[in-house]
Structure 1
Amino acid sequence: MRTLLAASIVALSLLPCAAWAQMRPMSDTELSTVSGQGLFAVSNSSYSGFDFTRISLDADVTLNANLANMRLGEYTYAPRNGSGADLDIGALQFGRTDASAAQRLVQITNPYFEFVYKNTAAGSGSQREIVGMRLGFDGISGDIGMKIATLSGAMRIDAGAAGIIDSMNDAGGGKRWDGTCAGCTPLANVGGVTAGDANGPSRDFWIAILKQPVTFQAAAGMPALTEAQAGIWLNWRDKLTALNLTGTVPVNNAAGH
Structure 2
Amino acid sequence: MFDVFNYEDIICARGSREMPWKPSFQMNVYYYLIDGLLIDSGPYSLAEEAIEFFNAHKIEQIFLSHIHEDHAGMAYWLQEKMQVPIYLHESSLEEARQEPELAKYRLDIWGRRKPFNAEPINDTIKTGSYVFDVIDSPGHYPYHKVLHEKNKGWLFSGDLLNNLKPKSVMFDENMNETILSIKKILDLDFTTVFCTHSGIRKNAKVLFQYKLNYLLELQKDIQTLRNRGFTNTEIAQQLFPGPDPIGSLSGGEFSPYYLVSTL
TM-score of Structure 1 vs Structure 2, range by shorter chain: under 0.3
More helix by share: 2
Instruction: With the length of structure 1 as denominator, give the TM-score of the two structures.
Output: 0.24
Bigger RCO of structures 1 and 2 (CA < 8 A, at least 6 apart): 1
Instruction: With the length of structure 2 as denominator, give the TM-score of the two structures.
Output: 0.24
